[in-house]
């Protein structure tokens, strides 16, 4: 497997996002984050975490897999926020991804896993951002959008566009899940880099 490398933003990007709080100073109940005025609910986040945990428990080493992803809530929320930033940036650039393109990549991935859904599930769980099978299409969409945005703008301009999109979305994070890192465009302590190099079975590469 290739070494995974993080692509960080080089310029000073965003002011620190405010904590997610109500007038009382308490975290809004049922809200994990607010992005562009839209809530990411704790129930939506927990559903993603639950699906991954269920897939991990189907493996031969569930305890090891669960222990290795102890910050799964933070990882998943970070990716959910990043996808919304990417969608805003791609929309501004006129970049789109079709359902057909996602399906074609999914078919290639399955073929590279020998056509075995169980093997494909293991590969999805082995990613730095662990995925349950029903989360694979969103990650494919993420990678395709990012790749097309970089192709459209060039890396430096694409990152600037992403930074501006994040600023416009006024990201707020429930402090239960960590703090938003505006420089890296990620949540927490850099555990979910903005983009990572993929293995061949996780194509396309961004």
In this structure, is residue 73 part of a structural domain? yes
pLDDT given for residue 202 in this prediction: 39
Q: Which helix (H) or strand (E) holds 41?
A: strand 38-41
In this structure, is residue 44 part of a structural domain? yes
Both tokens of residue 112? 């590279």
Q: Positive or negative CA dihedral for 74, 160, 89, 37? A: positive
Is the model's pLDDT at 33 over the cut of 50? yes
* Arithmetic mean of pLDDT, 108-134: 94
Q: How far apart are CA 70 and CA 10, in angstroms?
A: 29
In this structure, is residue 99 part of a structural domain? yes
Query: What phi and psi values does residue 128 have, to the nearest 5 degrees?
Result: -60, -35
Both tokens of residue 56? 């991990």
Both tokens of residue 79? 């990716």
Both tokens of residue 68? 């290795």
Q: H-type helices in 35-171, by residue range? A: 42-57, 62-68, 72-93, 99-112, 117-125, 136-153, 155-169
Q: What is the pLDDT of residues 35-61, one digit of tens each?
A: 999 999 999 999 999 999 999 999 999
Q: Could you count the other beta carbons within 10 Å of the beta carbon of residue 139? A: 19
pLDDT given for residue 111 in this prediction: 96
Confidence of residue 193 (pLDDT cuts 50, 70, 90): low
Q: How far is CA 69 from the centre of its chain?
A: 15
pLDDT given for residue 122 in this prediction: 94
Average pLDDT of the residues of the chain: 82
* Domain count of the fold of the chain: 1
Minimal CA–CA distance to 90: which of 5, 26, 34, 151? 151
Q: Which domain holds residue 153?
A: 31-202
In this structure, is residue 115 part of a structural domain? yes
Strand 172-173 relative to strand 38-41: parallel, antiparallel, unpaired? unpaired
* Pairwise pLDDT comparison (14 vs 48), residue with the higher score: 48
pLDDT given for residue 128 in this prediction: 85
Residues β-bridged to residue 136: none
pLDDT given for residue 119 in this prediction: 95
Enter the pTM of the model: 0.78
Residue 106 contacts residue 136 (beta carbons within 8 Å): yes
Q: What is the pLDDT of residues 56-107, one digit of tens each?
A: 999 999 999 999 999 999 999 999 999 999 999 999 999 999 999 999 999 9
* Arithmetic mean of pLDDT, 190-196: 54
Residue 64: strand, helix, or coil: helix
In this structure, is residue 26 part of a structural domain? no
In this structure, is residue 39 part of a structural domain? yes
pLDDT given for residue 204 in this prediction: 38
pLDDT given for residue 129 in this prediction: 87
Confidence of residue 28 (pLDDT cuts 50, 70, 90): low
In this structure, is residue 23 part of a structural domain? no
Residue 187 contacts residue 175 (beta carbons within 8 Å): no
CATH value at residue 164? 1.10.4030
In this structure, is residue 77 part of a structural domain? yes
The terminus-to-terminus CA distance of the chain in angstroms comes to 16
Q: What is the pLDDT of residues 164-184, one digit of tens each?
A: 999 999 999 999 999 998 888
């Amino acid at each position: 497997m290739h070494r995974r490398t993080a692509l960080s933003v080089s310029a000073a990007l965003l002011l620190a996002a405010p904590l997610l709080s109500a007038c009382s100073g308490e975290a809004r109940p049922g809200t994990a984050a607010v992005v562009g005025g839209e809530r990411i609910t704790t129930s939506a986040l927990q559903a993603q975490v639950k699906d991954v945990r269920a897939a991990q428990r189907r493996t031969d080493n569930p305890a090891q897999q669960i222990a290795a992803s102890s910050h799964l809530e933070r990882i998943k929320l970070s990716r959910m926020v990043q996808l919304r930033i990417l969608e805003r940036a791609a929309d501004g650039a006129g970049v789109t991804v079709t359902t057909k393109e996602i399906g074609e990549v999914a078919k290639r991935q399955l073929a590279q896993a020998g056509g075995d859904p169980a093997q494909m599930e293991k590969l999805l769980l082995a990613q730095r951002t662990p995925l349950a099978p029903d989360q694979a299409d969103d990650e494919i969409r993420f990678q395709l959008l990012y790749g097309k945005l970089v192709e459209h703008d060039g890396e430096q301009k694409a990152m600037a566009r992403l930074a501006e999109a994040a600023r416009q979305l006024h990201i707020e994070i429930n402090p239960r899940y960590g703090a938003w890192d505006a420089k890296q465009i990620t949540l927490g302590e850099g555990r979910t880099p903005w983009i990572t190099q993929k293995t061949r079975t996780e194509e396309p590469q961004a």
